[in-house]
Chains A and B, each alone.
Chain A
Amino acid sequence: DTAVSQTPKYLVTQMGNDKSIKCEQNLGHDTMYWYKQDSKKFLKIMFSYNNKELIINETVPNRFSPKSPDKAHLNLHINSLELGDSAVYFCASNVLNEKLFFGSGTQLSVL
Chain B
Amino acid sequence: KQEVTQIPAALSVPEGENLVLNCSFTDSAIYNLQWFRQDPGKGLTSLLLIQSSQREQTSGRLNASLDKSSGRSTLYIAASQPGDSATYLCAVASNNAGNMLTFGGGTRLMVKP
Interchain nearest-CB distance for A94 vs B (Å): 7
Interchain nearest-CB distance for B60 vs A (Å): 16
Q: Which of the residues A40, A99, A103 comes within 8 Å of B34, measured between beta carbons? A: A99
Q: Is B89 a contact partner of A43 (Cβ separation < 8 A)?
A: yes
Q: Is B99 a contact partner of A102 (Cβ separation < 8 A)?
A: no
Q: Interface residue count for B (Cβ, 8 Å)?
A: 25
Q: Mark B61-100, 1 if CB is under 8 A from A, else 0.
A: 0000000000000000000000000010101010001111
Residues of the B chain whose Cβ atoms lie less than 8 Å from the Cβ of A48 = 98-100
A95 to B12, CA, bound (A): 35
A11 to B47, CA, bound (A): 29
Q: Which of the residues B43, B87, B101 comes within 8 Å of A45, measured between beta carbons? A: B101
Q: Is B31 a contact partner of A97 (Cβ separation < 8 A)?
A: yes
Interchain nearest-CB distance for B81 vs A (Å): 23
Are A94 and B99 also in contact (CB < 8 A) when A102-B44, A103-B43 are?
Answer: yes
Q: Can you report 12 A-B residue pairs in the complex whose CB atoms are below 8 A from each other?
A: A31-B99, A40-B105, A41-B87, A42-B105, A43-B103, A55-B97, A94-B99, A97-B32, A98-B49, A99-B46, A100-B44, A100-B46
